[in-house]
Structure 1
Amino acid sequence: MTVEQLARTSPLARVSSRFAGLPDGVELAEEAFVAQAGLRVAPGGPAAAHVAERLGVALPGPARWVRGTTATVVWLGPDEWLVTDPAVAPADLEALLRAAVGPGAGAVVDVSAQRTTLRLRGAHARDLLATGCAIDLHPRVFAAGSAAQTVLGQAGVILLALDEHGTDYRILIRASFAGYLAAWLLDAATEFSTDPGAARADDSR
């Protein structure tokens, strides 16, 4: 008997085709199948130093994210980080981190299937987020390198600011909520379709 291998399908495979119809000033894309690992080590300890050496960047502090050689490291708690890397397989990322941490010095768990990632860009990116997110997203407060575990459109997300202008964000969302959030973003973006190409609102608001 021949067993057919199932094709790998992203959480947003059914909705991503609609992203091309977004109004000017809003760009949305899924960054699927990115290796992700939860990391718990004592901050400032030997294991944290070994992980930093392997990733090419020190583990970030509260409400921050950093980029290493290929990996991104997001602070989640006093001794907890999320490590993502689009350049390696999930098993390889987990193995690398486990080797760096060493036995008994911390914990590493592959969580690649837990979340997918949305990239939100454009002149209206911050305006769109502000319609469903309560945190202050002004670039003076939520600048490049900032990270927040927050609620967007009633869905829990990890939000990363990628630039200093409020025009580029990465949104990590649990796979089971990804379709809902994508639909919410598509619906909320229609607010900007009546004024395509318009300059963003005054940042002083």
Structure 2
Amino acid sequence: MTNSAAQDRPKGGKRERLGAAAARMFHEQGVEKTTIADIARAADVPVGNVYYYFKTKDQLVRAAIGAHDQALSVLIAMLEQLPTPADRLKALIGGWVDERETAARFGCPSGTLATELDKRADGLDRELADVMRQLVDWIEGQFEAMGRPDARELAVALFAAYQGISLLTNTFREPDLMVTEGDRLARWIDSLVP
């Protein structure tokens, strides 16, 4: 992340920029503390224009979930370019480690949003769970491609390790924790290759 508002500004049309800005602002400030004006400012959209696209804050939460889904699709497409399942999993871990400074400040983007949405009774938590499940399913597919009969268990263990280290990295404000865990997870992946 940079400190430049121009560089942090989401790309694309106003709707897409607002969704991406909502995801970022909810990650940095939480849903309850984030105002529509905050999102408009982060998206470089006049606040009055927000209501043309999103009538309520809950619609912006749904748009943020959509932005998470889109980002995951892009990530998976990039990872799929790598030659082996182990390479893809280690690149996923490397991407998590690369975001360690952000995790130290704000935690995992989807994990913190999931925790916050779980306290509400509007069903948005389930929509985010569906997005997160896509990543677990993709990880499971990588372990299956490695010939692992315990692919689901391994996928859950890998994702849980990431969520746990994100929490600890954020709690202790120690980005190096994520580096250490990333190295351990990469060695673990290597140990599972037949």
Higher share of residues assigned strand: 1
Higher share of residues assigned helix: 2
Larger-gyration structure (1/2): 1
